[in-house]
Amino acid sequence: MEWGDPSTFTQEQIEKLEQAQAIVGHVFAQPGLLLSAITHPSAVEGKPVKFSYERLEFLGDSVLGAIVATEAFHRYPELDEGGLTRIKVALVAGSSLAKVAESLGFADIIVFGLSEAGTGRRGLHSALENVYEATVAALYLDAGIEVAQRFVAATLLDHMSLDMAKEPENPKSILQEKLQEDGITPTYKLVETQGPPHDRTFITQVYAGLQALARGVGRTKKESESQAAEKALRSIEAADAELKKTEKARRKAEKAQAKKAEREARRTQKD
């Protein structure tokens, strides 16, 4: 049990737990699991990571992916691996999960800390996505895969469609699909035109919100936009690879630290 004794829950936690259980349609044997799933890290600053949705989100991502992949596999027997992958990626994208979570009323049940509430909850979109994944994990841990599957089937799987299997036609489409996982739509701005009218060169900047991603150069506006999208994709892929490398190193270090602490604890017990 993540939170321990339910008698220690605050009134806000009790009320939001009741709302959350009504939304997911399951009464938890271990209500602390669901409380962790709906708790933003800002509400438990200074406490172990298990008291917020961060760890559950990690597990939920894998459980949700397996549920969606299994459904797509059986629903569309004619699709190859690429098509099935595109369906899975589209359905579990951050923008998709956040939209579903918001429609369920999750925005009203997240337990935020004062630091986050003071910012106007800028991270609400991300929180909605994380809480959905964490809730799937909480259901899985509390009652098994079938209960988790029922929740996903009732809330997400109806949004699955064969159109999601279509391969993006060009770099701009691929970039848009990539950014929309985080609820962002790329925009393009012509920043410079070079050369005489009969021999123009166009320079276009692509943005994600207010952030400039890359510039592209082409003989037409369309060509310059396409090149900008290609460069942005390469940049994003490089950043993702570096992030995964860093995360892997962090987890390895945490594992080593945990083993070290365990050895020291055993040594202390022997002494």
Q: Is 12 a catalytic residue?
A: no
Residue 61 is among the residues annotated as catalytic for this protein: yes
d(CA 67, CA 75): 12
102 is in an annotated binding site: no
156, 102 in Cβ contact below 8 A? no
Residue 130 known to bind ligand: yes
Q: State the CATH architecture for 6-165.
A: Orthogonal Bundle (1.10)
Topology annotation, domain 171-270: Double Stranded RNA Binding Domain (3.30.160)
Above 70 in pLDDT, residue 168? no
Q: Exactly one of 61, 71, 116, 230 is catalytic; which is it?
A: 61
Q: Please identify which of the residues 2, 116, 129, 133 carries the catalytic annotation.
A: 133
Residue 170 known to bind ligand: no
Q: DSSP string covering 214-250, please?
A: EEEEESSHHHHHHHHHHHHHHHHHHHHHHHHHHHHHH
The pLDDT value given to residue 86: 86
Look up the pTM and report it.
Answer: 0.64
- Predicted confidence (pLDDT) per residue in 230-247, tens digit: 899 988 888 888 888 888
Predicted pLDDT at 4: 64
The per-residue pLDDT for 169 is 64
Please report, for the chain, the start and end positions of each structural domain, with discontinuous segments joined by +: 6-165, 171-270
Average of per-residue pLDDT across 28-51:
87
Give the span between the Cα atoms of 119 and 133, in whole angstroms: 24
Q: Enter the tokens of residue 56.
A: 């559950």
Residue type, 149: Q
- 9-25 pLDDT, tens per residue? 888 888 999 999 999 99
